[in-house]
């Protein structure tokens, strides 16, 4: 069990570019979550998958954001036309038992 992995760990992009992040959950976990964390704040919920179904999306997730989890395994989070306000740490978590989420190391996005 290698835990939750995220790729890349760091991403620097120019405003207006598209970026895609990947999350590989713990293999037997059917639930997957995306959060965003800005400096000095706790994580904010973005979206939740159970298997391949996206069951909930936060209002924070504008139409520039899209997440997928094909085949119920890894997940991708894409941000189109990035803005400086998108700069944050993007966290992925997975769980088997509902109330025990395991987090990856995060992807730090910097939009210049």
Partner 1 sequence: AQSVTQLDSQVPVFEEAPVELRCNYSSSVSVYLFWYVQYPNQGLQLLLKYLSGSTLVESINGFEAEFNKSQTSFHLRKPSVHISDTAEYFCAVTHSNYQLIWGAGTKLIIKP
Of 101, 107, 109, 111, the one binding partner 1 (CB under 8 A) is 101
Smallest gap from Cβ 19 to partner 1, in A, equals: 20
Of 40, 63, 84, 85, the one binding partner 1 (CB under 8 A) is 40
Q: How far apart are the first and last CA of the chain?
A: 36
Q: Decide if residue 48 touches partner 1 (CB under 8 A).
A: yes
Which H or E run contains 67? strand 65-68
Compute the distance between CA of residue 7 and CA of residue 52 in angstroms, rounded to an integer. 20
Q: Decide if residue 51 touches partner 1 (CB under 8 A).
A: no
Q: Quote the tokens at residue 110.
A: 């910097």
Q: Decide if residue 4 touches partner 1 (CB under 8 A).
A: yes
């Amino acid at each position: 069990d290698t835990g939750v992995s995220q790729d890349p760990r760091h991403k620097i992009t120019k405003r207006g570019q598209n970026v895609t992040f990947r999350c590989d959950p713990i293999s037997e976990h059917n639930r997957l979550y995306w959060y965003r964390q800005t400096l000095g704040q706790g994580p904010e919920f973005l979206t939740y998958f159970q298997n391949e179904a996206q069951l909930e999306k936060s209002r924070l997730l504008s139409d520039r954001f899209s997440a997928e989890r094909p085949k119920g395994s890894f997940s991708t989070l894409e941000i189109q036309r990035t803005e400086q306000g998108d700069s944050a740490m993007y966290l992925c978590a997975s769980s088997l038992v509902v109330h025990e989420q395991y987090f990856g190391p995060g992807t730090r996005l910097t939009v210049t």
